[in-house]
């Protein structure tokens, strides 16, 4: 991780007016002085170096950089991180929506015992025209309109009658 969030950074205000500055102390005791007006910047401000690390202040947050990044590179790294995070959440949203669709499709599937019952009851033919080919199980009241999978709400229809019915509903 070239750029990590710096925790336990202590900041103390010193001086006044134009000369106001922040005394920034890290957890292991290094301290830097940063003119306070610079901390109002939303762009990266280099606060100081400690060994091979550089402490950056970016829009209210502190970061350690171990890659010798420039201010622009710090900004780009954070921007890229935000973008990837957004993309990840967007992907998760889609995955969840798909999972929910699958779950509701499973809920809507007509149970085998109901199919067998309805098939016998309707004599294995279209309840509208009596056709014996291209038969389908149809929800009398569509699932989308609150119809369930009980036998009273299921009927055998042929493809033509089913399509004619769908057309008349829409
Ligand atoms: Zn039919």
- What is the rounded distance in angstroms from the CA atom of residue 45 to the CA atom of residue 55? 9
> Among positive and negative, which fits the CA dihedral 32, 38, 39, 43?
negative
Q: Tokens for 43?
A: 């762009």
125, 131 Cβ separation under 8 angstroms: yes
Is 98 a domain residue? no
The parent domain of residue 46 ranges over 3-69
List pLDDT tens digits, range 100-158: 887 777 677 899 999 999 999 999 999 999 999 999 999 998 887 888 899 999 999 99
- Residue ranges of alpha helices (H) inside 22-122 are 71-108, 112-121
Is 89 a domain residue? no
Is 47 a domain residue? yes
Is 44 a domain residue? yes
What is the CA(25)–ligand 1 centre distance, in A?
81
Q: Of 47, 69, 91, which one is at a domain's C-terminal end?
A: 69
In the chain, the DSSP E strands lie at 3-5, 10-14, 21-25, 31-35, 45-50, 53-58, 61-65, 135-139, 154-158
pLDDT-based confidence at residue 83 (cuts at 50, 70, 90) = very high
* CATH number of the domain where residue 122 is located: 1.10.30.50
Q: Of 69, 101, 125, which one is at a domain's C-terminal end?
A: 69
The pLDDT assigned to 27 comes to 85
Is 100 a domain residue? no
| Number of domains, the chain | 2
Is 36 a domain residue? yes
Which residues make up the environment of ion ligand 1, defined by Cβ < 5 Å?
A: 126, 128-129, 131, 158, 161
- What is the rounded distance in angstroms from the CA atom of residue 1 to the CA atom of residue 11? 24
Residue with tokens 């055998």: 156
What is the CA(136)–ligand 1 centre distance, in A?
10
The pLDDT assigned to 168 comes to 78
Is 78 a domain residue? no
Is 77 a domain residue? no
pTM over 0.75: no
pLDDT-based confidence at residue 170 (cuts at 50, 70, 90) = low
Section 34-46 average pLDDT: 82
């Amino acid at each position: 991780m070239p750029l990590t969030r710096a925790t336990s950074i202590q900041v103390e205000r010193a001086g006044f007016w134009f000369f106001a500055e922040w005394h920034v102390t890290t957890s292991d005791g290094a301290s830097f002085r940063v003119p306070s007006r610079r901390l109002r910047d939303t762009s990266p401000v280099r606060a100081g170096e400690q060994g091979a690390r550089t402490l950056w202040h970016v829009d209210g947050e502190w970061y350690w950089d171990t890659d010798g990044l420039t201010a622009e590179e710090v900004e780009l790294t954070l921007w890229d991180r935000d973008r990837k995070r957004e993309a990840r959440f967007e992907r998760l949203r889609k995955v969840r929506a798909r999972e929910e669709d699958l779950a509701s499709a499973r809920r809507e599937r007509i149970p085998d015992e109901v199919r067998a019952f309805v098939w016998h009851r309707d004599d294995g033919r279209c309840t509208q025209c009596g056709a014996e080919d291209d038969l389908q199980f149809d929800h009398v009241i569509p699932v989308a309109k609150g119809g369930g999978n009980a036998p009273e709400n299921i009927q055998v229809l042929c493809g033509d009658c089913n399509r004619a019915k769908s057309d008349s509903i829409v």
